[in-house]
Amino acid sequence: MSRSCLATSFALALVWSFGCSGRTGPAPTADVKGTINMDGKPLPVGELHFSIQGHPPSVLKVTDGTFKGQAPVGQNKVELFILVDGPPNKKYTEGGASAKINTAPGKYWGPNTTLDAGVSAKGTNDFKFDVSSK
């Protein structure tokens, strides 16, 4: 009997610890908008990924050098993606899918991106990014 009580107590403690892990859910977001220029000209197409640690990024489409959407409140790392079709992907040959290749310079994407934005819950979040193709 004491073994079954011990096992039940252990199981309840385990369930309680997973149920109370302190996760807060999705990060609060706010409206953002802005412009992005490459070499002084509006970026025709692309994506900007706004992210804060521990949460998935918000992906905003860039069209004719402008973007708008929702981004997490707080200090965001911002990544630039300029995707073009790459060679056909042998893994998915039946659908004719091709790989996408990011042609943005490496300093604008990945963990060491040089772009950032402080997104406020109140007020205007209007950003201007000037990037270089080199």
- Dump the DSSP string for 58-102: EEEEEETTEEEEEEESEEEEEEEE-EEEEEE-GGGTTTT-EEEEE
Gap between the Cα atoms of 119 and 70, Å rounded? 10
Contact indicator for 117, 127 with CB cutoff of 8 Å:
yes
pLDDT band at 88 (very low <50, low <70, confident <90, very high): confident
- Sequence-distant (6+) residues with CB within 8 A of 6 are none
CATH superfamily of 26-131: Immunoglobulins (2.60.40.10)
Q: Give the type of residue at 46.
A: G
Q: Which helix (H) or strand (E) covers residue 116, if one does? A: strand 115-119
pLDDT at 13: 44
Q: What are the domain boundaries of the chain? A: 26-131
- The stretch 109-133 carries a mean pLDDT of 96
Query: Is pLDDT above 70 for 14?
Result: no
This prediction has a pTM of 0.76
